[in-house]
Amino acid sequence: MRKLMKLTLSILCAVLLLFGFKTWCEHLEKQSVAAKPTAGKQKKLTIYNWGDYIDPSIIKSFQKDTGYQVDYETFDSNEAMYTKIKQGGTHYDLAVPSDYMVQKMRQEHLLKPLDHQKLTGFKNYDQRFLNEPFDPHNRYSVPYFWGTLGIVYNDLYVKPGSIKSWNDLWNPKYKQQIMLIDSARDIMGMTLASMGKSVNTTDEPSLAAARGKLITLMPNVKAIVADEIKTYMAQNEAALAVDYSGDAAEMLDQNKHLHYVVPNDGGNIWFDNLVIPKTVKNEQAAYAFINYMSRPDIAAKNAEYVGYATPNKQAKARLPKHITQDRAWYPDQKTLNRLEPYENLGPNLTERYNDYFLEFKMSN
């Protein structure tokens, strides 16, 4: 009986050992599969950028040269981009926020610090556009494009050379003749600059004064619009417009009577930047794309397509001189010294800017 019991126990132990070994092997196999991404995931790069803000042929060439498959999504405002990344529903590998939003996102720990040893083309960038206050030492961002906020005028209605200051917009002779970009920060900033104030003003009396002055501009305003402003100006629908330099470039290409001016009383210089969100899935692909866009030949091609100024010094040298020597698109250093990038003002002051701009829009 004991021999029989021992034999039975031996068989039972053997079965249990075999079952345990099989289970352990299956567990190891599952761990191996989980740790090793599929080929598709390894090769996918998800980019979140502004609409029509890259030459499509560059995406095709990047895919062909590197083997990565690009999933390209677009947004229409910094705030929309910020909200989606913060919610974390989609794991973007790269995003393109503006200056103040880079500051906000890094303060909220939504960005990964950059490993500069992996940035093969960083030396190509103009030192004047690096180490900005919104991202000291470019710890989180690489500049993509830069530009200005200015005034477009039509010489059919406005004497050439007569527009030099933001204050010119308040001239009564331009009644119902001005188009404004629908942006609280830009229009409030323009008004503050016209008063000799910083576009990042936090002083309440100055903000209240800017609100009051802005409301007096309403009789001259024909419309407050977004992208439609380019079509209206190209079709001679208004004498003047306040818009970004890149949008102005598109307008000027379509209408020989249009001109762009950076006012002499200060204002905004903006930067859009490549960043890696905290929830990145394919960091290797993200660095590959940043380095690809940092190549002088690629950056120059992209600048010609988009129409904004490139911060890539080597790329700028490849662009036609009629572009790079035009002070409207590449202002001299004296002009640049008067311009400021926007800073993150925090929720309370941002709401104040928005409220004052809304009051202005409703004052018509």
Domains, the chain, with CATH or none: 40-146+271-330 (3.40.190.10), 147-269+340-361 (3.40.190.10)
Mean pLDDT for each 10-residue chunk of the chain (364 residues)? 38 44 43 39 89 96 98 94 92 97 97 98 97 97 97 98 97 98 96 98 97 98 94 97 93 96 95 96 98 98 94 98 91 94 95 97 89
CA-nearest of 92, 225, 240 to 175 is: 240
What single letter denotes the amino acid at residue 283? Answer: E
Which residues make Cβ contacts (< 8 Å) with residue 356, sequence separation at least 6?
A: 184, 188, 207, 210, 211, 214
pLDDT score of 42: 65
Strand, helix or coil for residue 44 = strand
Query: Residue 17: its pLDDT value, please?
Result: 45
Considering Cα of 88, then 94, then 99, then 105, what sign does the dihedral take? positive
In this prediction the pTM is 0.84
48 neighbors 274 (Cβ within 8 angstroms): no
Q: What local confidence, expressed as pLDDT, does residue 25 receive?
A: 43
Q: 251 by DSSP, 3-state: which?
A: helix
Give dist(CA 177, CA 246) in Å, integer: 22
Cα Rg of the chain (Å, integer): 27
300: left (phi over 0), alpha (psi -120 to 50) or beta: alpha
Predicted pLDDT at 38: 44
CA distance linking residue 101 with residue 141, whole number of Å: 11
